[in-house]
Amino acid sequence: MKDYIKHINKDFESRARLGIMSVLMVTESVNFSYLKEALQLTDGNLSSHLRTLEEAGYLQVEKQFIGRKPSTSYQATKQGTTAFKNHLDALERLILTNKNQD
């Protein structure tokens, strides 16, 4: 298999997860509603992608109360940041390889 394809991380394949990780690279900590709005996902869909990323160790979840309102926020772990950067590098190599064939 071509090297760059092997380094494309299946955990980040979906558009939703690419989006979640992109947001978390920019913002240290975001809450559920922010992600939902930014990525235009349903609650169920977003929850499921967040759970996958959490289980892979790529993000951590913090539950707290703001006043009496529960709020859940998410931030990328160091492992998640590194893995996502490697994924983007692999995608970049794939793009460059394709461009060089134009």
Summarize as ranges the residues that interact with a copy of itself (CB under 8 A): 1-2, 5, 8, 10, 13-15, 18-19, 22, 25-26, 38-40, 84-85, 88, 91-92, 94-95, 97-99, 101
As measured in angstroms, the least distance from the Cβ of 48 to a copy of itself is 15
Nearer to a copy of itself, 69 or 100 (CB): 100
Ordered alpha helix ranges (H), 1-102:
3-6, 15-26, 32-39, 43-55, 78-99
Nearer to a copy of itself, 37 or 70 (CB): 37
Q: How far apart are CA 98 and CA 102, in angstroms?
A: 7
| Spatial contact of 7 and 89, defined as CB atoms under 8 Å apart | yes
Overall size of the chain counted in residues: 102
Nearer to a copy of itself, 19 or 72 (CB): 19
